[in-house]
C-alpha cells in the first residue's frame, strides 16, 4: 500500500515531539524507508503509524545496544546460511565423482531464499530500516573517513535491505545461476585427444583434461617455455575459437572417447569418422537465462532498475562510467603498443591473438611446463600436504609466527571439480574454503598456481573477518580488493616452491614484474569491457535469442579487439576476448580482476620496503568501507592507472634497448 507524504510528515512530527528536533532528519529518512517497502499484508496506515511510533529508537545507548544485538543475530543467520550453501553445493564444486540429478537439485536450492521474506513478515527488516536508515553514497564519501568501526557497521546494516524481492524469484535466480555454474564446471576438453592441423596426434599427454577457459588458457601460457610450444598454443587457440563460435561438436566436450581435429572440426572414434552436432548456442542461452532472471528482479529496485546498476552503484560503489574510464585510460595508452613490440622481439615472431596471454615476463617463464609440474609435485604431492604447509608458507611471506599459526587452521583445502575458487566463512567460528583442481595423478603446476591464488583470497577473508569487531563491517569493499591479495600471493608461487632465481638480473626483476602485471591487466580489462557491453546489449535487446546474443558477443569482441589491439598484433577481428567462462558462471564479475590488478600494483609498490604479512594485516583490518577510502587508508592514494603506467615507462627505458 502507498503511505503518502502527509501521513509520513504527521508521524515524523509526533515522534520529534517525543525525542527532540535533532532526530528529525533520521526519523524522516527511517519512516520513508519503511513506507517504501510496506505492503497491505504488513498492515493498514494506522498499523504503519503504530509500528513507527512504537519502534523508533533515538540515538544513544539503546540504539547502540540494538546494533550490537542485530550484529550478533545477523552473523548467526548469514554465517550458518553461508555454511549450509557450502554443504549443499559440495558435490557440484568438489571433485567427488559423477554428478547426479539430486546433486543438481540440492546445489541449486537456496535455503536462504525466504530469509528476507520472513524478516519483513516478522518486521525485523522494518526495525532495521526505521532505526538504521540507508546513508547515501555522498554521505559516506563526505563523512566516512571519520567514522568508527561501529559507525561503519551501522551504515552497512542500513544497506542490508535495499529492496524486497519475493522468495520465489530469489530461488529461481539461484536455480539459473547454479545451472550455469554446473555447465561450466563440466566443460572439459581432453587435450590428449586433439588432432593437429596436419593430422598430428599426441601433441599433449593422453590424460591431460582441462576446463574451459581457465585450464586451456593456463596451458597455453605454460608453453612459452617449450620447444614445441607454438604448435600447442595454436591448436588451443583454435579450440577456443570453436567454443566462442559454438562450432565445437557436443561430443568433443568432456568426452574421453572421441578424437577431435579443431581445424577441420571432425570427430573420429577408433579411426572412424563420427558425426557430431555443435552445441547449438548453449553457452549463450545460459547467459540469456541469467539476464532474464535478473530482469524479473529489476522492478523491485526502483533506485537501481538494472542488474548493471546494482552491480556497480549498489554493490561495488564505483560507477560503470568510472570503471570504463579507468580501463580505457590504460588500454588507450601508448605504453600498450610499446610493450607489444617488446613481446614480439622476445618471442621472435609476429604476434598472434593468443599472445594477449604472453607469460614470458615471469621468473618461471624459462622453465618448461614439465619441470614446473615436477617442482609442484615434489613440494606438494597432494592437497593434504599443501594444506599442512600453509602455516609455513605464511611464515615465509613474513607473517609473524603467531599470526600464521592463527590463520592457517581457518582455511580448509578441497579438490575442485571446476577451475577453483575461494569461499569465505561469513562468521568468526567458520572457515574459508580453498578449492583447486588437481589431476588424479597428483598436484601439477596449474593446480598449485591456482591454489596460491586462492590462498591469497582465503588469507584476506580470514583477516578481514577475524580482525573486525562487527559482522557488518567485515570483509573488503569489493571482490577486486580480495583479488589484489590473490594476485600478490600468486605472483609469489615460485617462492612457495622454493625457487628464488629471478628471470633476468636482480636489477631487471622489478621491471619485468611491472610489465607482467601491466600486460595481464590490459587483457582482462578488455574482457571486462566486453562483459559490460554484452549486458548493456541485452538490456537494449531484451527479446534476443541465443543465436542473436552469440552474434552480438562475437561482434563486440571483435570491436574491442580492433579498437585496442589490432594495430599492436597486426590482426583484425579476433574473437578471443569472448572465451571467458565468467560471463556464464559469474555475471558481471570480470571487472573485479583488472581492479584487483591495479590495487595489487599499488599495494606492491607500497610494501617494497615493508613486511608483507604485517602490512596485509593492517590493510585488511580496514573492513568493508568505501573503495577509495580503503585505498587511501591502505596506500595513501585512490585507485589509479598512473602508478602502473609510470612504472611501465621506467621498465621500457631499461629493458627495451
d(CA 533, CA 530): 5
174 falls within a domain: no
Does 42 share its domain with 158?
yes
d(CA 447, CA 139): 44
Does 456 share its domain with 578?
no
348 falls within a domain: no
Does 537 share its domain with 639?
yes
Q: Compute how many other C-beta atoms are within 10 angstroms of the C-beta atom of residue 543.
A: 6
Angle, alpha carbons 353-354-359 (nearest 5°) = 130
355 falls within a domain: no
Last residue of a domain, one of 429, 461, 496: 496
Q: With a cut of 50, which residues of the chain have pLDDT below it?
A: 502-505
Kind and range of the H or E element at 27? helix 24-37
155 falls within a domain: yes
How many separate helices (H) and strands (E) can be counted in the chain?
A: 32, 8
Residues contacting residue 402 through CB under 8 Å, at least 6 positions apart: none
Does 373 share its domain with 307?
no
The pair phi, psi for residue 316, each rounded to 5°, is -80, -25
Coil/strand/helix, residue 187: coil
**Cell 527479446, located at residue:** 543
Does 155 share its domain with 193?
no
436 falls within a domain: yes
d(CA 587, CA 582): 6
C-alpha cell at 41: 499484508
DSSP 253: B
Coil/strand/helix, residue 75: helix
Residues contacting residue 264 through CB under 8 Å, at least 6 positions apart: none
Annotate 323-387 with three-state secondary structure: HHHHHHHHHCCHHHHHHHHHHHHHHCCCCCHHHHHCCCCCCCCCCCHHHHHHHHHHHCCCHHHHH
Q: Please give the tally of structural domains in the chain.
A: 4
Q: Are 92 and 181 spatial neighbours (Cβ–Cβ below 8 Å)?
A: yes
Does 488 share its domain with 512?
no
Q: Crossing angle for the helix pair 124-131 and 45-55, nearest 10 degrees?
A: 60
Question: Cis omega before residue 512 (within 30°)?
Answer: no
Does 550 share its domain with 635?
yes
Does 592 share its domain with 447?
no
Kind and range of the H or E element at 434? strand 432-436
Q: What is the pLDDT of residue 437?
A: 86
Does 440 share its domain with 477?
yes
C-alpha cell at 368: 618448461
Last residue of a domain, one of 251, 283, 315: 283
Q: Are 469 and 617 spatial neighbours (Cβ–Cβ below 8 Å)?
A: no
Partner residues linked to 253 by β-bridges = 189
User: pTM value?
Assistant: 0.91
Last residue of a domain, one of 474, 496, 518: 496
Q: Are 438 and 447 spatial neighbours (Cβ–Cβ below 8 Å)?
A: yes
Q: What is the pLDDT of residue 510?
A: 85
Among residues 8, 33, 19, 47, which one has the least CA distance to residue 126? Answer: 33
97 falls within a domain: yes
How far the first Cα of the chain sits from its last, in Å, is 72
Annotate 518-574 with three-state secondary structure: HHHHHHHHHHHHHHHHHHHHHHHCCCCCHHHHHHHHHHHHHHHHHHHCHHHHCCCCC
Does 449 share its domain with 536?
no
Coil/strand/helix, residue 421: strand
Q: What is the pLDDT of residue 296?
A: 97
Q: What is the pLDDT of residue 502?
A: 45
The pair phi, psi for residue 69, each rounded to 5°, is -70, -45
368 falls within a domain: yes
d(CA 63, CA 131): 8
Does 545 share its domain with 644?
yes
Coil/strand/helix, residue 61: helix
Coil/strand/helix, residue 411: strand
C-alpha cell at 229: 610450444
Does 488 share its domain with 530?
no
Q: Are 82 and 430 spatial neighbours (Cβ–Cβ below 8 Å)?
A: yes
Q: What is the pLDDT of residue 657?
A: 63
Residue 528 lies in domain: 296-338+506-655
102 falls within a domain: yes
Cα torsion for 397, 400, 405, 407, to the nearest 10°? -70
Amino acid at each position: 500500500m502507498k503511505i503518502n507524504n502527509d501521513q509520513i510528515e504527521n508521524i515524523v512530527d509526533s515522534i520529534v515531539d517525543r525525542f527532540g528536533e535533532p532526530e528529525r532528519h533520521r526519523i524522516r529518512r527511517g519512516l520513508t524507508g519503511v513506507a517504501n517497502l510496506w505492503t497491505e499484508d504488513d498492515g493498514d496506515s494506522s498499523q504503519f503509524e503504530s509500528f513507527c511510533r512504537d519502534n523508533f529508537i533515538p540515538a544513544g545507548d539503546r540504539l547502540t545496544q540494538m546494533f550490537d544485538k542485530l550484529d550478533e543475530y545477523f552473523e548467526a543467520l548469514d554465517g550458518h546460511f553461508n555454511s549450509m550453501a557450502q554443504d549443499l553445493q559440495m558435490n557440484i564444486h568438489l571433485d567427488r565423482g559423477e554428478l547426479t540429478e539430486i546433486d543438481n537439485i540440492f546445489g541449486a536450492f537456496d535455503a536462504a531464499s525466504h530469509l528476507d521474506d520472513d524478516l519483513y513478515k516478522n518486521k525485523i527488516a522494518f526495525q532495521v530500516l526505521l532505526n538504521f536508515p540507508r546513508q547515501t553514497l555522498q554521505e559516506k564519501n563526505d563523512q566516512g573517513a571519520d567514522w568508527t568501526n561501529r559507525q561503519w557497521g551501522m551504515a552497512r546494516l542500513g544497506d542490508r535491505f535495499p529492496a524486497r524481492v519475493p522468495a520465489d524469484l530469489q530461488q529461481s535466480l539461484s536455480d539459473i545461476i547454479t545451472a550455469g555454474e554446473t555447465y561450466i564446471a563440466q566443460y572439459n576438453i581432453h587435450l590428449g585427444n586433439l588432432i593437429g592441423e596436419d593430422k598430428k596426434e599426441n601433441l599433449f599427454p593422453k590424460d591431460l583434461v582441462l576446463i574451459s577457459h581457465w585450464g586451456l588458457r593456463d596451458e597455453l601460457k605454460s608453453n612459452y617455455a617449450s620447444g614445441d610450444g607454438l604448435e600447442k598454443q595454436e591448436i588451443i587457440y583454435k579450440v577456443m575459437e570453436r567454443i566462442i563460435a559454438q562450432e565445437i561438436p557436443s561430443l568433443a566436450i568432456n568426452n574421453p572417447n572421441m578424437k577431435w581435429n579443431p581445424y577441420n572440426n571432425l570427430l573420429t572414434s577408433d579411426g572412424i569418422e563420427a558425426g557430431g552436432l555443435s552445441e547449438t548456442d548453449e553457452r549463450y542461452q545460459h547467459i540469456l537465462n541469467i539476464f532474464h532472471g535478473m530482469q524479473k528482479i529489476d522492478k523491485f529496485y526502483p533506485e537501481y532498475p538494472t542488474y548493471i546498476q546494482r552491480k556497480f552503484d549498489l554493490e561495488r560503489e564505483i560507477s560503470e562510467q568510472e570503471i570504463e574510464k579507468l580501463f580505457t585510460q590504460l588500454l588507450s595508452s601508448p605504453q600498450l603498443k610499446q610493450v607489444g613490440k617488446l613481446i614480439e622481439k622476445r618471442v621472435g615472431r609476429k604476434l598472434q591473438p593468443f599472445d594477449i596471454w604472453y607469460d614470458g615476463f615471469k621468473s618461471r617463464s624459462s622453465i618448461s611446463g614439465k619441470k614446473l609440474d615436477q617442482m609442484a609435485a615434489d613440494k606438494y604431492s597432494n592437497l593434504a600436504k599443501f594444506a599442512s604447509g600453509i602455516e609455513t608458507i605464511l611464515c615465509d611471506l613474513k607473517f609473524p609466527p603467531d599470526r600464521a599459526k592463527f590463520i592457517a587452521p581457518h582455511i580448509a583445502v578441497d579438490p575442485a571439480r571446476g577451475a577453483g575458487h575461494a569461499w569465505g566463512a561469513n562468521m568468526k567460528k567458520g572457515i574459508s574454503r580453498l578449492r583447486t583442481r588437481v589431476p588424479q595423478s597428483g598436484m601439477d603446476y596449474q593446480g598449485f598456481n591456482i591454489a596460491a591464488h586462492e590462498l591469497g583470497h582465503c588469507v584476506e577473508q580470514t583477516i578481514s573477518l577475524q580482525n573486525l569487531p562487527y559482522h557488518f563491517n567485515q570483509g573488503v569493499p569489493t571482490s577486486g580488493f580480495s583479488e589484489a591479495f590473490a594476485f600478490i600471493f600468486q605472483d609469489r608461487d615460485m617462492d612457495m616452491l622454493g625457487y628464488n632465481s629471478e628471470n633476468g638480473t636482480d636489477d631487471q626483476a622489478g621491471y619485468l614484474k611491472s610489465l607482467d602485471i601491466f600486460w595481464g591487466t590490459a587483457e582482462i580489462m578488455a574482457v571486462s569491457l566486453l562483459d559490460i557491453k554484452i549486458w548493456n546489449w541485452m538490456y537494449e535487446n531484451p527479446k534476443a535469442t541465443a543465436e542473436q546474443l552469440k552474434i552480438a558477443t562475437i561482434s563486440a569482441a571483435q570491436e574491442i579487439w580492433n579498437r585496442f589491439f589490432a594495430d599492436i598484433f597486426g590482426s583484425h577481428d579476433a574473437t578471443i576476448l569472448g572465451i571467458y567462462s565468467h560471463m556464464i558462471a559469474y555475471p558481471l564479475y570480470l571487472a573485479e580482476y583488472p581492479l584487483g590488478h591495479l590495487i595489487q600494483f599499488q599495494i606492491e609498490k607500497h610494501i617494497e620496503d615493508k613486511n608483507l604479512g604485517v602490512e596485509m594485516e593492517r590493510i585488511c583490518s580496514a573492513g568493508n568501507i568505501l573503495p577509495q577510502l580503503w585505498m587511501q587508508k591502505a596506500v595513501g592514494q585512490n585507485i589509479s592507472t598512473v602508478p602502473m603506467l609510470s612504472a611501465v615507462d621506467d621498465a621500457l627505458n631499461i629493458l627495451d634497448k
